[in-house]
Each structure stands twice: as structure tokens, then as C-alpha cells.
Chain A
Amino acid sequence: MMLTLAHISKTFGATRAIDDVSLDLDRGQVTGIVGENGAGKTTLMRIIAGEIAPDTGNVQLDGRAALVHQHFMLVSNFTVAENLALVDATDPSRLFRTHRTLERRAEAIIGRSGIDLRGVARRVDELSVGERSKLELIKAIASDPDILILDEPTSVLTPNESSELFRVIQRLAAAGTAVLFISHKLREVLEVAPRIVVMRAGRIVADTTSQGMSAEDLATAMVGEHQAIASIVGVQNDENRATAERRSPSAERRIHPLRCEHISGERLDDVTFDVPSGQVVAILGVAGNGQVELASMLRGLEAPRSGAVLLDGKPATRRQLLGSGAVGHIPEDRTRDGIVAQMSIAENIALTSRTPLRHARGFAQRLIELYSIRAQNASQPAGLLSGGNQQKVVLARELDRRPAVIVAAEPTRGLDIAATRFVHEQLRLAAAAGSGILLMTSDLDEAFALASVMYVIYRGHLSDPLTPRDAAMQVGPLMAGVA
């Protein structure tokens, strides 16, 4: 055994994050870890990587572990090469390197990792999320670990990038590296990991081979029998309602709360689209095709070089976009743009809600229950929540107040199945209540589950509007830029 965990427990205040967990790991073994948001996956991985110490129990690790975090841990005003130089163990001197040498070394490290990433002279803040996550991975592989731990690495990757990652994983495993792989995408876990460990409420509740398992089996194991049935029934209801709503456009849905006319910018090229009230309009695309700039223009943080953003048919001022509360945002990068880690859940929610501050805590408590956010209480600092639960705080805050327009970028990234379903339901309800919803996503399933109109964005260029039926045929090639 290269890793043996014996009776590990870890509590944070009143939260028992890990509850008597034992686990063995062999060389060259790929193990998937699945479980609901807040089940304790990240905490367990941090214990294995030695980032935090368990309260009780024993970790025996024969070798070195490298952890790729759920959130980026890059120096964002350094270049790719500089970030890699920070971890370059093969550099004998580390002193007085010219940029050129750093870049050559970086290219060598990237080459060895087998991952495709170009432009090492670029600063990290110019990279797309997909590229950033590749860089994280390269960093981890560069340290030549015996155990490689990947915490939700594919949540920001395209299907192609994911397959590339899986090939890298297989290669490393064949060379004897043990790989731990966390994901909420169960099909993908089944595909890449021969062994799967299921966590629930801090415990390991199943440890099986993936042979003969289906995604449904896994989902059931994650939530327990009882809840699984309820949630499957829930799906069917959702779907009925969604189709029903799409077919009944009422008179008030003629209003167009958000419209963009010919907006161009650094990365955007003559983008025009329309979000009618009561509908979900999806902009599908691989990360890094201008979505970030579009979101920031819709928030009023950047002005388009030309063209206009219209609210209710009238050109919107910066102030209307930013401060009026008419537009709710669910930003893509939740740690940077979503939550204020040092402030409590209640305060994070109160930032945009209209509830008097006196009632902020009670109000937040209600949303915590409604969205099943796994938290000690509303006064807990939001930064201490698990990744998925942080996302839920932002979602709860923006969806609950029902703004006229909701701009949701990758709203279910990092959420477990039940939460994803719940959020989709909430987005539909918000639309049914008259909000216009702009969904920016790279997840085809999500777009098809929600949107009545779809656009594909590629290199800052928007496709013609597509109905879900047309889209089924055309999105793939459009997203890849080959149509």
C-alpha cells in the first residue's frame, strides 16, 4: 500500500467534516471520489496532501502527494512561465534566470506533462479558465508526485480537454502514480476510474469497482435510497413544467428586459442578442471565447467599444447596469467574483437583498434551508463553506430576489446532482415569474434542459439564434468553430 488512512476524523467547530474514514490506495490505481456538496471530499484530500492535520487517526503515505485545488492557486500577475518556475524542482540554481530561459524551461515542463498549453509568456490573468486549470495540472505533474489528487478538474474543461486529461491520467497511472479524482460528473468518473469511493456526510458509504455500475447507482449511493426516489420523481416534474412553460408565452413576455445591439470590445465582435422576459436564452460556448468580457459589460464594469446594452428597450447607463438591482449576476469565478469569503453568509446575501439588515440573519437562514446549503449557521464566514455550497450562496442570493434580468454564468459548476437539478428548477421558476435569463454555459445538457433560444459564441462571434431542435444538430460544430 502506498497510502493508508486509518480512522481519520476532522471537525471544524460544530461541523464533522470527516467522520472515521479508513482508506487504502495502491500504486498506479485511479480512484474516483464522489459525494454531495459538503460531503467532505476536499477536506479528505487536503488531509492526504498534508495541508491540514486530522483530529484523530493516522495517515501513512509512502511518497509525495500533489493536490490540484478546486479553486485556482496561481499567481495571477505572473506569466505561465513564472508560475511554473515557482515549482520547478529540476532547476538547480533558481537564481538569475532570464525570461527566455524561464520560458524554455516552462515549455520543457509542459512538454513532459503531456498537456497542451501554449503561450508561456502570457500572464495568468489573460488565460481562460480552461487554460488556468491545465496550468494547475501541469504544476502538479511537474512535481512528479506519487499521488496526484485532482479536485473537480473537469468542471471548467471542454469535453475535448477532459478527454485529453483522462489520457494524461491513464498515462500517469500506467507509470505508477496513484490518482484520486473528484468530480460531480458521474459518467466521467465511471469512465476514468476503475474504483469509486462514495462519501456522504463525512463518511465513506461505498467503495466499489466501477464495473457494472451506472450513474444512477452512484447517484443513489451518494444521497441514500430514500432521497434518490424523491429526486427522480422531481426530475420528471421539472421536465413537464419546463415544456409546459415554454409553450405558453403570455402577453407580458413580449417585453424585452435585456438586449444587446452590435456590441464589440476587446474580445467581442458585433454581438447582438435578445433576452425576452419569461425565457431562458443560452449562450453556449467553450470558456475563453469572450464570455467573461460580455458578463463584465452586462454588469457595467466595462463599456462596449461600440454598440449598446439595452434594458427594457432603452440604452442602459453604467449605473443602471451596476447599481439598480435590475440585473442579477451569477459570476463564473465564484471565489473571485462571487462571495466575500471573510463575511458571513448572511452578510453576503444581504449585499443584494432588499430585506432590512435587522432581518438579514433570519432571511439567510431561510435561504440556507431552502437551498440546502451545508453550513453551521448564517453567521459562518462564507469562505469556510465547501465549493459547491459557496456557489449555492450566490445562487440563493440572486435567484431569490427575482431581478428583471439574471445573467448566469456556469451556474451549476461544481454542484452535485441534486443541487444542479434544484438550481435548474429555480431558474425555470424565475423565468416563469417573468425574469429574462441569460445563461452562459459550456454544458450542452444544461443549455438543452433550460433554454428556448440558443446562441453559440466562438471567438467573440455569436451565431444566429437557434431553436433547441436546430441546435441539436448544429451546436457541436459551431462551438468548435468548424461550421
Chain B
Amino acid sequence: MRRLAVGIGAAALSLLLLALAGAAFGHSPRVLLEILVSGSIGSRFALEGTLLKSVPLLLTGLAVVIAFRAGVWNIGGEGQFIVGALAAYLTSRFGTTAALLAAAVAGALWASIASLLRVWRNAPEVLTTILLNFIAIHLLGYCVNGPLQEASGQYPQSDPVPQAAALPLLGGSSLHAGIVVALLVTLASWWLLYRTREGLRLRATGFNPSAAQYAGVDVNAQIARAMALSGAVAGLAGAIELLGVTHRLFERVAAGYGYAGIAVALLAQLHPIATIAAAAFFGALATGAGELQRSASISSSVATFGQAVVILVLILFGSMRAFAPGRDE
């Protein structure tokens, strides 16, 4: 209950701070908030935009939740998202399912490089996953400027994926079936973390690795599995974004979703179900910020500003000690 209050408080406070910051630059805070709200949930169009942005955020957020629960900082969501999108693109001619699976595997493998580096060289994931992001970004850059560039050779982007591989749209809207996949993955993550022995051991590893060892958990293997799973979920996010929204690869296809996942996970206080709400909040913020840019000429990077503020507010509430005692189901 307390955690719920903290989450809602942090979200509300960050909106308030955003509005006040706007006031400092001579905008009316009320008008700002109105535009944010109407631009994110005020119309059917806005709402669809919010939901579309929430889907990748939900998955990258979950990826962070899973790894953090095992005590690992997976900052590599961005890179795993990208290799997921790449793998999905390359396998898209075999159909949607194949592309989604390939993306999950690619994300898992990419994240596992960090695990290997830790086992071999004791390199901390918090560093290696970031570095792997840069490699993934440049790999993608090379692909869309080279081997995967569109046939016309005009822009640094790929050709669209085959129509058959694209995710089906839901009943006359711009929403795609990826939203269902993302929700299913969320439920599955919750079930895994709180209803299976694997999840129990994963969380024990995150809380107290040495006690976990004495209870018979192979901590290194446990962390490696959590990283792989986390990478798989982030990779899936990349595939869903590609097959549902962009249909093409281009350099900014990940659009910071990987990093935003960290803010999502923290706002959700590492709870998989709460991640849905946190992703929706940041999805709305990003969509509303787009509207701010259009109608008030305020840079849409206020959305990033909002993410930063949420993290700072959470630190203020002291709940970054996400592993503090307390029931967490």
C-alpha cells in the first residue's frame, strides 16, 4: 500500500514540477497541464498514441524489473531492443511468430554477453550492458546504411517488413496486437517472479546472494538466467515496435525506450503489475509532450525531463532502496 502511494505521489509530484518548470519559462502551468492531459488522453487519437508508446515501455520496464529483482543492473535495454528489432527484421519473412521468437532469442543472447563477461572477467553488468548498447546502436547504423538499406538507397532505413509479418491491427484502430502480447508477458513475469520456485530463487538472489547460496541457489547461474530473460523481454519490445509501428529499421528505431524502461521500472518500484501503470504514465507523458511541441512549441524532450524528475522524486522518497523489507506482492 505504501509503495502504491509512493508511486502515485512520485508521478503527481513530477507533473507538478514539470508545470512549475514551464512557469519559470513564462508558460502558464495550468495551460501546460491541460495540453499534456488533452494531448495524451483527451481524444481517441491521443489515447491511441499513448497506448502505442506504452507497449514498448511496458516491455523494457519489465526487462529492467526482472534483472533488478535478481540484483543486476541491466542498463542494456536499449541495445537488447535494437538487436531484437534487427533479428525480427531478418526473420520477418518467416512470419510474425518466428520474428518475435528470433527477437527474444537475440535479446537474450545479447544480454548474456554481459553475463559471460562477469563470469570470465568479473566485469559488472552495469558497465558492460551500457557498452553493449553503443555496439548495438552502431551495428544498426551500419546495417541501415549498408546491407539492409532500402532498395531505393534513398534514406538510411530498411525496406518495410513483409505485410504478412506485420502485427495485425485491433478493430479499426491504430493499435496493434503487440499490446496483447505485452500484457501477456507482464502477467507471465508476475507469475514467474511470485508463483514459481525459479522466481523465488531469483528474488532471493537479488536480496541476499550469500544466503541464497547457502540455501542451494547457484547464484551465478541464477543471475545469468535472469539476464537472459530480461534481454529476451527487451528484444521482444524491439520486435513489437518494428512489426507493429515502424515497420522499417532506422537508426533511432529504439528511440530511448530501453533507457526509459529504467524509469518505468523504478516508478513501478520493481513490481511487474505496477509496471503497466508506470508504462502508461510515461507513455502519456511522451504523447502529451508531442502535443506540447506542436501547440506550444515546447521541446518534446520534456518527456525525458519528466523521467528524470520521477527518478529524483523517488530518491527523495527513499524508495530507491527498492529492496527494503516489506511484502512486495
Mark A residues whose CB is within 8 Å of B.
Answer: 299, 301, 319, 322-325, 329, 331, 336-344, 347-348, 350-352, 357, 379, 381, 383-384, 397
Contact = CB atoms under 8 A, between A and B. Distances in A.
Given A323-B216, A325-B216, A329-B214, A342 B325 contact: yes
Interface in B273-329: 323-328
A357 B323 contact: no
Contacts of A301: 213
Interface residues of B, number: 24
B216 A339 contact: no
B197 A350 contact: yes
Given A336-B211, A341-B325, A342-B324, 9 more contacts: A299-B213, A329-B216, A337-B213, A339-B208, A342-B323, A343-B203, A347-B203, A351-B200, A352-B215
Nearest to B194: A357
A341 B207 contact: yes
A446 to B, nearest CB: 20
Nearest to A325: B216
Nearest to B208: A340
A323 B213 contact: no
Contacts of B175: none
Contact of B325 (A299, A329, A379, A381): A381
B210 A351 contact: no
A348 B207 CA distance: 12
22 contacts: A299-B213, A299-B214, A301-B213, A322-B216, A322-B218, A323-B216, A336-B208, A336-B210, A337-B210, A337-B213, A337-B214, A338-B211, A338-B214, A340-B212, A342-B208, A342-B326, A343-B203, A350-B197, A352-B215, A357-B195, A381-B326, A384-B325
A203 to B, nearest CB: 27
B50 to A, nearest CB: 34
B201 interface: yes
A352 B195 CA distance: 15
Contacts, number: 74
A343 B215 CA distance: 13
A357 B204 CA distance: 15
Contacts of A329: 214-216
B17 interface: no
A300 B192 CA distance: 27
A338 B323 CA distance: 17
A339 B210 CA distance: 9
A332 to B, nearest CB: 10
B207 A343 contact: yes
A381 B216 CA distance: 20
Which of A319, A351, A384 has the largest count of B CB atoms less than 10 A from its CB?
A351
Contacts of B207: 340-343
Most chain A Cβ neighbours within 10 Å, of B196, B208, B325 = B208
A245 B23 CA distance: 82
B213 A351 contact: no
A428 to B, nearest CB: 23
Given A301-B213, A342-B324, A351 B208 contact: no
B113 interface: no
A350 B212 CA distance: 12
A383 B325 contact: yes
B217 interface: yes
Contacts of B196: 357
B216 to A, nearest CB: 6
Contacts of A339: 208, 211
